[in-house]
Each structure stands twice: as structure tokens, then as C-alpha cells.
Amino acid sequence: MLRVLRFLQTVDRRFLYALLMLVVVTPFFINFQLPARVSTATRRLYDTIESLPEGSFVLLGVDWGAGTRGESRPHTEALIHHLMRKRLRFALLAFDPQGKKLAQNIALRLQEQYGYREGVHWVNFGYKVDQENYLKAFGPDIIGTVKQDIHGNPLGQLEVMKGIKNANDIALLLDVTGSSTYETYIQFLQGPYKLKMGLGTTSVMAPEAFNRLDAGQLVGLIPGLAGATEYERLLGIPGKGTRATNSSNAAHLLVITFILLGNLAMVMERRLRAQGGAL
């Protein structure tokens, strides 16, 4: 008995890793979907985009890279799907060097489905440094600050930028991020220009972001993988988020099970030892 209890407290970590891998991959081959409720935070962002008139201009911050791709890519995909479906114009802006390319690939892949064209319906402003100072300059003069898109085309000549001069012309500001770039957006763009702002953020960052949602600085929020699944459900397009959620749920169950087993074994061993049971 004591040996079993000891084993449960000293399981080889590599055994756990192997088990975790199995639990994560198996749901890829099983076609099932656990029920999920759409949270108010996610629905509010969806409703805000739904309420925008056709042709409105949306700025989409894509401040993520390979490090948070698991969560940020489903966010970006779901939001671009929604923007294209609603026939909204949008611009990608990255303060992460990888963000500009990763988001560009997503937009290029989805544009055919919705009959969108780069430069006409959407544009990529590219990667920019020094977010604080950049946004200070960007707010009053978008064309003069960005100057050209990632292909070197003068921004002022692009059809997508027609009628867009400063931040007051932005109907909605969105940021998909794995870091605190959304705070800088609030500090130097959302706050000064009283813009509506939505956020897609990683699970790690989400608890802090809820303060901003309560304060009205954010109109809606997509938190982590769970949020991505909720958004895909609202759109009716099961994507990466939906598929990953089954794996995420299974992995969480495994982690919880082993935490409980380990602690239970520790308590039982202590009791046995207290009773003098050198079993």
C-alpha cells in the first residue's frame, strides 16, 4: 500500500509528459464537442462588430508571435472572418515583428472566401517600434505617420484609406496580443480619442484585462483559447479554437486528476505513518 502511495507522489515527470501528449492528441481523432457557454465578455465584442455599419474602418493590432500562436491565431482568424463577413475595412498594425507576417498570411488566406482585396478592403501597416511614441504620432495623423504599407505602396493612394485621416475616423480598435500592448493602446489611443476597443488576449493576461472591461475601456474581450471557441461558436465557423478546446479540456482533467491523486496519496501516507503502519 505504502509503495503505491509513494509512487503516486514521485511519478516520473516524463511519464506525465507522455500521458499529457496522448491526452492532447487523442481528441484530434474523435469527433465530439463538449458543450460551451458563450461568456458576456466575448458576446459583447461580437455584438459591437455586428453593430458597425458596412465600410467602417477598424484598426486591428496584431501584437503576437510564435510564442502565443496557440491562442492568438484563433483570435485573429475569428476576428478577420467577422470583419470580412461584415464588409468592414481594416488595417493590420504590429508592434511584434512576427505579428505582421503571421496576420498577413491569415488575411491573404481568408480574402478569397469573402472577395476581399488587399489595398482595397484591407491593408497591412507593418511592424512598428516604440509603441508609445508611435501611437502619439499615429492618433492625429495616420497617413503621415504610417506613410506606406508593407509592400511600399504610399498609404494615401490606397482605396482602403479613403476618408481616413486621424484616429477619430477609426470605428473600432481591436488588439490581439500576448503581452501588455493593449494597455499602451488604452493609454495613448483609446483613452485620448474615446475609441471603442476590443481585445483578444492570452489566458495569462486575461484576468488583468477584465478590470478594463468593467471600467468601460474595453467593449469586449476574447480570453484565451476558451474565448476563441466561444467566438467561433458565435460566428458558426468551427476553427482551430474549437478543435483545440477538446484537447485543452482533456489535458486539464488529467492535470487535476494527478494533483488530486498526489495530494490524496500524501494525506493517506501521513495517516498510515501516524497509525504506525509501516506497510
Partner 1 sequence: MSEFLETHKDTLVLWIGAICTLGFYSILYRENRIYRFFEHLFLGLAMGYGVANVWTDTLQPKWWEPLVHRGHWWLIFVMIIGLFYYFVYSPRYNWLARLVIGFFLGVTSGRAFQAFVNDYWPQIPTSFKPVIPHGPVTTPDGQTLPALTWSDALNNILFMVILLCVMSYFFFSFEQKHPVLKRSAQLGRWLMMFTFGAIFGSTIMGRLALMIDRMDFLVNDFGPQIGGPWVMFLVLIGLAGLVLYLSKRAAERGEDTGAI
* Binding-site ranges for partner 1 (CB under 8 A): 10-15, 17-18, 20-22, 24-25, 28-29, 67-71, 73, 97-98, 100, 126-129, 132-133, 136, 147-148, 150, 152, 183-184, 186-188, 190-192, 202-204, 206-207, 211-212, 214-217, 224-226, 240, 243-244, 247-248, 251-252, 255
Under a CB-based contact definition with an 8 Å cutoff, are residues 47 and 273 in contact?
no
Closest CB 127 distance from partner 1, rounded Å: 4
Closest CB 248 distance from partner 1, rounded Å: 6
Nearer to partner 1, 66 or 279 (CB): 66
Closest CB 147 distance from partner 1, rounded Å: 6
Phi first, then psi: what are they for 63, rounded to 5°? Answer: -100, 60
Closest CB 222 distance from partner 1, rounded Å: 13
Nearer to partner 1, 145 or 166 (CB): 145
Question: At 270, which amino acid appears?
Answer: R
Nearer to partner 1, 174 or 224 (CB): 224
* Residue 278 cell numbers, joined: 509501516
Q: How far is CA 94 from CA 73, 123, 185, in A?
A: 14, 12, 12
Under a CB-based contact definition with an 8 Å cutoff, are residues 177 and 63 in contact?
yes
Q: Could you give the CA distance from residue 139 to residue 211 in angstroms, rounded to a whole number?
A: 24
* Residue 11 cell numbers, joined: 511519478
Nearer to partner 1, 166 or 247 (CB): 247
Closest CB 195 distance from partner 1, rounded Å: 11
Give, for 221, the enclosing helix (H) or strand (E). Answer: strand 220-223
User: Closest Cα partner for 178 from 79, 66, 92, 83?
Assistant: 66
Nearer to partner 1, 48 or 56 (CB): 48
